[in-house]
Structure 1
Amino acid sequence: MPFTVTADDTSRTVTIAMSKPYGFLLNTIGLAPIVCAKGMKDPSILKNSSSGTGPFVLTNYQPGRSMTFIRRQGYAWGPNGAATSAPGTPAKMVLKFVTDETTAANLILADQLNAAVIKGPERQRLNGRGLDKVGSAGSGEWLWFNQLGNRPTQDLAVQKALLMAADLPQLIKVSTGGIGTAATGLINARPTACPGNPLAGQLPEHDLDAAGALLDQAGWVEGSDGIRRKGGATLHLDVHYVPSVSVYAQPTAELVAQEWKALGVQTKLTADTTTALSQTMFQTSNSDVYLEPFGGNLPTQMVPYVSGPTPPDGVNLAGINNAAYNSLVAKAEALLLVWRRTSRPGDPAPLLRPAGLDPAARYRDVRTDAVHFATVLREYGIRPELPRGDWASAAVHLVRMP
């Protein structure tokens, strides 16, 4: 979402303006980087050092090896008054780039590292040492069925049959080293911007016989050799994955191939580098199935990957064209933010005329439950209820009515 940022030194404020109504501004406004005047004047210094106001200052950067930070003296403007003068605040921190998890685990056990991100089997070795740990949500493997070109995976019946033939709980177990759980949405970041479980009831149950019946109906008939064919063509799928992403990627791909073989589907497993898979996904589209971790922080980030232009003109990598989803995207919600620097007795709240609404729709105000016609809002506006006093602010959350 394009945005502009302006600063006012006199009022000591920074204003972020979106190019159009955006429902996740409160989730993302803190992600906008603020570079101090020194860095703005000479951006080249940002290659190896920092120019900001955080509790630590980057003093040394060795690409691919490490980053060194020292404590900022006098820092006392953190959340709830957090300051670097607090006991236990380190004078220096060194962030090392250690790509091998066994090496990282060994360094922790040898007291040469204070912390590390461990995703693979080394977790089991570290769990028995009584170390403190913090869990975080991450993405497991996604199955993307390529619907571009004249491919078997273009047929929804084939997609459903492949899912029914796969033992999803077992795939989750293998792909996460036995600690993962089923996804509850497209977004894995926590806390979630949109709570709920939109995937509930959407996935078919594991049923190999029903999967075979679906393929029979679609014309893919199993021969005496156990292989399915249609019009002389073999049901053969090219499955791409990236071993370097996770130690569990290859066994997961092999389990997928094994389960689909039982259905009469032949598979070719193609191990890619991240660069090669990216080229296949977003340039050539030359594969049938992608097995790749995926995810984002907001639902809006997923929109171009599951709708709209396809490669190489867009990033809708599987060629998805779901009319219901496209309609819901077009009915996106609107969040209006308003603030007032100073006020005098009797001053009315500012009048807002939202220009990004669908003129043919009605919108419900989430707080008041009032329903407004978009044409009325655009023509006559809406006055939000602002608290008394200076620097008052309020949010108006509008949801399109069905």
Structure 2
Amino acid sequence: MRRLAAAAGAGLLALAAPALAQPRETLTIGISQYPGTFHPNFEAMAAKSYVLGFARRPITAYDATWRLTCLACESLPTLENGGAVRETTPDGKPGIRVTYRLRADARWGDGRPVSAEDLRFAWEAGREPATGIGPADFYRSAYELIVEDQRTVTLRYDKVTFEYNSAGDFQPLPAHIERARWQADPRAYRNRTAYDTETTNPGLWSGPWRIAAVQPGAGVTLERNEAWAGPVPAFRRIQIRTIENTAAMEAQLLAGQVDMVAGELGLPLEQAAALERRTGSRFRFEYKPGLVYEHLGLRLDNPILSDRRVRQALLLAIDRGQIVQRLFDGRQPVADTGVNPLDVMHDPDALRWPHDPARAAALLDEAGWRPGPDGIRRNAVGERLSVELMTTAGNRGREAVLQVIQGMWRGAGVEARIRNEPPRVLFGETLSRRRFQGAVLYAWISAPENVPRTTLHSEEIPSEASNWSGQNYGGYRNPAMDALLEALPRELDRERRRALWSQFQRMFAEDLPELPLWFRADAHVWPRWLEGVRPTGHLNPSTLWAEEWRAR
């Protein structure tokens, strides 16, 4: 694998004709995390989604107006236009068939057409449990894939959902490169995929750029994809630098070593706001509220955290309003559940847990945790009420939050032991393989009206048997929640679905499978000469439309 090379400037034109402005051929972007893998279907990590947004085009995505659109397909299939048709499944259940036709000009970087066979391979790999591709429920439901012709496939589902025409994470994989690797050993495929062993192979990439070089842990270089048939990107080269320490990221921005900081993975809001106050009009700043949910994920098979009274007490002991005001200038609304007030299904009447130290103490007393001589509570056998607390190392905002929570919990008699890890380790190993023991501060980024089955359903708990697919890292098990998560997507009537969403939010707020903190606003920092970047505020990153970016 080649090492990341420093970008060469494009100054020959300027030397030949001094009166002309020097063209900008390279855009250098700072992000705070490095992808744990470059395979599109393993590990749901924002850094990977951001980078691959330059190099791939999924079938469908939600745009900056939160509207579902086609990217790799010709048109969005609907019940109205006949692209989707209700039917009865072979075992007599209500089902639906949805037909996607790929764009005629879609090409992999080696010139091969993106074809129905690439979708068939992705579906076959996803259907095989040993592969460990998520979300598993999609592949269980899509019980048949029919190749209609070289560019057209029909998926048959064993249930009808309001998301029936969203392809989500189902996207083509280059069968001519990956199929043989997968067939050799489906369980070992995730460790031998060309996406990680031959990342610079042009045939892996179908977007406006292709990955040309990687420096593990430090950066990615993308070059213009000559096989791309869409609008010609303004930049010949995109350089992405991973700077896990946000103070160092700010320093590199000020020194001109990076042109912009990606809002999806950049500076904490309060750090960006302070930078804007200091630098005035040097950069463009945009603070984009979105479906980004900061929370404390909990290891629920930890005996301490398995007690709902303890979880409720831990949340009551955190003064989230004070943290938001002190650290985030009041710009981030406190969360009661994972459903954002910006989402149409948010219930403003959901149960709330305001800061209440007295009630927190009463719940801990009831759960059998009594104050010890050093102020830390102990149970009947003398065990300390101690919780390991983790987040992404180098993120100044999150590290500050943990220190504040540590102090607030100590006031309630709870010992918090902080142990942070680099993002690629925390997300690539610790969370995905359930190696944490206490609480982890991180964010879920969702699509509009996203049913959180993959994070809360008991079938989505990662395990060695499932090759670590699924995102229910905490191990939450609740049959009533499982039933609700299964019923929600099947309700096509919006108002009846709203009632189910309200039920979900009440159940979540009572049970607290994770501790909701606040909804994040992302701080995007751009150079004045960059135009066309449209933050989405949801799961699909702005880079999916990066061919529209222009330098003036």
- Name the TM-score class by shorter chain: 0.5 to 0.7
Matched AA of 1:288: G
- Are positions 1:246 and 2:400 aligned together? no
- From the CA coordinates, give the structure whose radius of gyration is larger: 1
- Deviation (angstroms), 1:206: 0.9
Provide the residue aligned with 2:360 in structure 1.
211
- Are positions 1:181 and 2:320 aligned together? no
Provide the residue aligned with 2:314 in structure 1.
162
Matches within 5 A, 1:286-365: 287-297=437-447, 302-308=452-458, 310=461, 312=463, 316-334=472-490
Secondary structure of 2:419's match? strand
- Deviation (angstroms), 1:234: 3.9
d(CA) in 1 for partners of 2:169, 2:296: 32
Q: Which deviates the most, 41-50 or 218-227? A: 41-50
- Deviation (angstroms), 1:256: 1.4
Q: Which deviates the most, 35-44 or 23-32? A: 35-44
d(CA) in 1 for partners of 2:298, 2:180: 48
Q: Contact conserved, 1:141 with 1:175, CA < 8 A, in 2?
A: no
Say how many residue pairs are matched.
323
Q: Contact conserved, 2:293 with 2:445, CA < 8 A, in 1?
A: no
Matches within 5 A, 1:27-106: 27-28=166-167, 32-33=171-172, 47-51=199-203, 56-58=208-210, 60-64=212-216, 65-70=219-224, 75=229, 83-84=231-232, 90=234, 92-99=236-243, 100-106=245-251
Change (3 A) 1:18 1:255: farther
- Deviation (angstroms), 1:207: 0.9
Provide the residue aligned with 1:8 in structure 2.
149
Provide the residue aligned with 1:115 in structure 2.
260
TM-score by length of structure 1 reads 0.63
Matched AA of 2:296: L
Gaps of 5+ in 2: 1-137, 182-192, 497-552
Task: Spell out, residue by residue over 1:192-211, the C-alpha distance to the aligned partner (whole angstroms, 9 max, x if none).
Answer: 5xx22247532311111121
- Are positions 1:147 and 2:300 aligned together? yes
Matched AA of 1:143: L
Secondary structure of 1:186's match? coil
Gaps of 5+ in 1: 77-82, 335-363, 370-402
- Deviation (angstroms), 1:255: 1.4
Secondary structure of 1:255's match? helix
Larger relative contact order (CA 8 Å, sep ≥ 6): 2
- Deviation (angstroms), 1:167: 0.5
Change (3 A) 1:22 1:113: farther
Q: Contact conserved, 1:146 with 1:318, CA < 8 A, in 2?
A: yes
- Deviation (angstroms), 1:47: 3.1
d(CA) in 1 for partners of 2:429, 2:260: 34
- Are positions 1:271 and 2:412 aligned together? no
Matched AA of 2:481: Y
Secondary structure of 1:272's match? coil
Provide the residue aligned with 2:165 in structure 1.
26
Matched AA of 2:319: D
d(CA) in 2 for partners of 1:187, 1:29: 19
1:236 alignment partner, one of 380, 385, 388: 385
Change (3 A) 1:113 1:271: closer
d(CA) in 2 for partners of 1:30, 1:232: 48
Change (3 A) 1:69 1:221: same
Secondary structure of 2:166's match? helix
Provide the residue aligned with 1:357 in structure 2.
none
Change (3 A) 1:208 1:73: closer
d(CA) in 2 for partners of 1:59, 1:185: 38
Secondary structure of 1:331's match? helix
d(CA) in 2 for partners of 1:179, 1:203: 19
Change (3 A) 1:119 1:174: farther
d(CA) in 2 for partners of 1:57, 1:144: 35
d(CA) in 1 for partners of 2:169, 2:335: 27
Q: Which deviates the most, 173-182 or 209-218? A: 173-182
- Deviation (angstroms), 1:222: 2.9
Q: Contact conserved, 1:164 with 1:211, CA < 8 A, in 2?
A: yes
